[in-house]
Amino acid sequence: MKVNTVNVVEYNDDTILGITSFSDDEEGNKEAEDIFKRCAKENGATDEDLEAFILEDGLYETGGYQLFLVHSS
């Protein structure tokens, strides 16, 4: 059985730091966005960055750090 998820994936210097998955529904998407925002801010993103392009693109990167917000099915 397939499960639709939304995932927050963290990389640093080509190493996976973690993957956090939520159900792909309204509540899961909200939780994933909250985790994504927190991780991005902890790594230098500003509120303006997040609202302007990061959440829309589902990607934040700085130096060797990369953060993705992705859906899977």
Per domain, the residue ranges of the chain are 5-72
Q: Of all residues in the chain, what percent carry a pLDDT higher than 90? A: 78
Answer whether 9's CB lies under 8 Å from 19's CB.
yes
Q: Which amino acid would we find at residue 50? A: L
Strand segments (E) across 1-73: 5-12, 15-23, 59-62, 65-72
Answer whether 73's CB lies under 8 Å from 2's CB.
yes
What's the pTM value of the predicted model, to 2 decimals?
0.90
Instruction: Judge whether residue 53 has pLDDT over 80.
Output: no
Positive or negative, the CA dihedral 4, 15, 45, 37 is: positive
Q: Tell me the pLDDT band of 12, cut-offs 50, 70 and 90.
A: very high
- 60 C-beta neighbours (distance < 10 Å), count: 24
Instruction: Judge whether residue 27 has pLDDT over 90.
Output: yes
